[in-house]
Structure 1
Amino acid sequence: MPTATKKKAPAARAMRAPRPDGAATRALLLETAGQVFAERGYADATSKEICERAGTPMASVNYHFGSREALYEEVLIEAHRQIVSVDELVEMTRALGDPRDKLRALLGHMLAPSSREATRWGFRVVLREMMAPGPLAPALVDKAVRPKAKLLLGLLAEILELPADHPAVQRALVFSVLPCIVMLVAPKEIPLKVLPAMAKDSEGVFEDLMRYVLAGLDALRQAHRVGKKRPAS
């Protein structure tokens, strides 16, 4: 009997071992789910359709992610990473000293055509979530948005010479980043048919955007510097 037990144990362990293609299947499901959620939104996308399009068994979503909701959470985080990851933000500004140069590098990366093409379905997923937040929006905020916002708030605080939690710094984040988001998610037909000059000169658009943003930040810095000095006098 002891001998029989020893022979069965390795077989049982072998059955529990993960399949060698498990990581590839998980990545395929995540990519396919991103496309489906981008097309249909959270409410209308089903695990069945995701598995059918991925060519995997119907139970694949539950096996690899636990549930459709957990899969969507992963899709949201990946979508935000596609746009720009925290590691990218840190790396692209590592060698820059002036916070204005860092801000220029970050906004330039967001608006670069290569960056937009690389995001695939990410922008559409994030845009859908912004327009109609689902039950997993808090996960997106905590795991993807908040770390990037913290980094950008610190950068803008340097430019404005104010604490990172100052209301003006938080407003400056919206004023600086929101125009980029609008340009990224707006349908291509708008600049082509309504604002053709923008469509023909992306470099000029970015340069004027930076003039606009930096001038606004300088104005905010001056206004709040005056505000800080008034009580002392």
Structure 2
Amino acid sequence: MNTKSGRAARPHGDATRQQLLDVAGQVFAEKGYADATSKEICTRAGTNIAAVNYHFGGRDPLYEAVLVEAHQHLVTLEEMQHAAAMDGTPLEKLRVILGGIVRRATSRDAHWGTRVVIRELLSPTAFAPTLVHRAIEPKARVMLGIVAQVLGLAPDNPGVQRGLFLLMAPCLALLVAPRGLRKDVFPALGDDTDGLVEDMLAYVEAGLSAIARRHGPQNR
């Protein structure tokens, strides 16, 4: 009897935890970390105020979980690992990854995760290291491996890190650009997502080729 109760309680508990996470993400996206309260999150989620402490240990650990979940909605580590392991050239692997990020960044129905990440990047809280180390860093390691293959350089070469940072900069610009800027000033950024990805890849390929020449064996 107790076993059955335990089995039934776990899915319900998992569902409550996910509900809190989703609602908290929406509230943090709307109000930011400083102005979002556990009371409002629980009220919107239809749970008892103690639920935040029970499932996450408090508002701060909840926000940390939201940051990691938010970055997952831009691109998951599993997506990157799958792309890195697929057959094809390093540039084709970059196309898959960049394509997914660009489509999410330019979507008309942006997930709350995009706004949470933007808020944290533009106005970092004390929890920014959580975003960096738990969400960004594992994915950066995968990307560094792909970029090293594109450049034909060792992964620890400074050009690899700089190349990765520079190729991701346009994705960051898409995330932070106001929708009105993309709609009214640069409509080509949203009207043809596939075309944007291909132009971005051409831009990235040319830039990485220049970095490869600069850091290649002939310049050592």
**Normalization by structure 1: what TM-score?**
0.85
Q: Distance in 2 between matches of 1:166 and 1:19?
A: 47
Matched, 1:211 2:190: no
Question: 1:230, CA displacement in angstroms?
Answer: 4.6
User: What is the aligned residue count?
Assistant: 217
Contact 1:99 1:155 in 2 (8 A): yes
1:2-17 matches, within 5 Å, as none
Cα separation, partners in 2 of 1:199 and 1:97, compared to 1, 3 Å: closer
Residue type of the alignment partner of 1:82: H
Structure 1 stretches of 4+ moved >4 Å: 17-20, 113-119
Matched, 1:195 2:186: yes
Q: Distance in 1 between matches of 2:11 and 2:113?
A: 28
Matched, 1:125 2:116: yes
* Other-structure match for 2:213: 222
Cα separation, partners in 2 of 1:203 and 1:58, compared to 1, 3 Å: same
CA-atom RMSD in angstroms: 2.4
* Other-structure match for 1:135: 126
Highest RCO, 1 vs 2 (Cα 8 Å, sep ≥ 6):
2
* Other-structure match for 1:145: 136
Question: 1:115, CA displacement in angstroms?
Answer: 8.5
* Other-structure match for 2:149: 158
Question: 1:89, CA displacement in angstroms?
Answer: 1.0
Gaps in structure 1 of 5+ consecutive residues: 1-9
* Other-structure match for 1:98: 89
Gaps in structure 2 of 5+ consecutive residues: none
Q: Find the residue that maps to 2:150 and give its secondary structure.
A: helix
Q: Distance in 2 between matches of 1:220 and 1:208?
A: 18
Cα separation, partners in 2 of 1:137 and 1:230, compared to 1, 3 Å: closer
Q: Distance in 2 between matches of 1:153 and 1:19?
A: 38
Question: 1:206, CA displacement in angstroms?
Answer: 2.0
* Other-structure match for 1:4: none
Contact 2:151 2:209 in 1 (8 A): yes
Larger Rg: 1
Q: Distance in 1 between matches of 2:200 and 2:19?
A: 38
Q: Distance in 1 between matches of 2:110 and 2:190?
A: 20
Question: 1:118, CA displacement in angstroms?
Answer: 7.5
Deviations 1:137-164 (A, max 9, x none): 1122111110000010111111112221
Matched, 1:173 2:170: no
* Other-structure match for 1:7: none
Q: Distance in 2 between matches of 1:135 and 1:192?
A: 34
* Other-structure match for 1:66: 57
Cα separation, partners in 2 of 1:66 and 1:100, compared to 1, 3 Å: same
Percent sequence identity is: 47
Residue type of the alignment partner of 1:181: L
The one of 53, 59, 67 equivalent to 2:44 is 53
Residue type of the alignment partner of 1:26: R
Residue type of the alignment partner of 1:206: V
